[in-house]
A and B are shown apart, each in its own frame.
Chain A
Amino acid sequence: NAGVTQTPKFQVLKTGQSMTLQCAQDMNHEYMSWYRQDPGMGLRLIHYSVGAGITDQGEVPNGYNVSRSTTEDFPLRLLSAAPSQTSVYFCASSYARSGGTEAFFGQGTRLTVV
């Protein structure tokens, strides 16, 4: 099982550039989420999706867009990169259950904006 796959693993952007972080899962999970983690901090939710075609904002959505056209893929777009978006980004997926189930996380994308 591949689980949750994130690409790329590392990326350096210049201020103002745009890019898309890819996330794919092969477990047929309904829920998918994007988080960012700054040094010494816990993860913060950027956007999430409860199924194909349905997305919503999390705690820190500004500067990011998402879409979910298929169950498997949940890309995160940085519209105009800023140094404040330097962070490690994690994608996660899980089944939809009332008490929650095990969420699977990708290995992360380390993004530096210069």
Chain B
Amino acid sequence: DAKTTQPNSMESNEEEPVHLPCNHSTISGTDYIHWYRQLPSQGPEYVIHGLTSNVNNRMASLAIAEDRKSSTLILHRATLRDAAVYYCILYRGSTLGRLYFGRGTQLTVWP
């Protein structure tokens, strides 16, 4: 399975935008980029996913590089509730629902 690389940790101040990077240089043409987050003492929570075009939803935006070797999850205005571990995961058709988690990025949000 193609791997992703994320920084171990990032920090932000409340109400500021946050850009969480993810490198996936071995991505294949049919791999979708998924993002999940895990709040303390909870199960992971889906955030967003995309293939080639940038995607927006109520939680975040996903910016995908033109060569698809990297992507960035954008939280437009961080809140204290956004403090979590964020996971970037590649998903292809043969994945059959399986998700392969790395260590993710621990986001700290300061008031």
Contact = CB atoms under 8 A, between A and B. Distances in A.
Contacts of B51: 99
B89 to A, nearest CB: 9
B97 A90 contact: no
Band of interface residues on B: 20 to 34
Nearest to A3: B43
Chain B contact surface mostly: loop
B110 interface: no
A43 B99 contact: yes
Contact of A50 (B46, B97, B104): B97
A96 interface: yes
B16 interface: no
A53 interface: no
B101 A31 contact: no
B7 interface: no
Interface in B28-63: 32, 34, 36, 41-46, 49, 51
Given A100-B34, A100-B49, A42 B97 contact: no
A95 to B, nearest CB: 9
A56 to B, nearest CB: 8
B54 to A, nearest CB: 16
A44 to B, nearest CB: 7
A105 B93 contact: no
A42 B8 CA distance: 12
Interface string B49-90: 101000000000000000000000000000000000001000
A103 B97 contact: yes
B98 to A, nearest CB: 5
A41 B103 contact: yes
A33 B43 contact: no
A32 B97 contact: yes
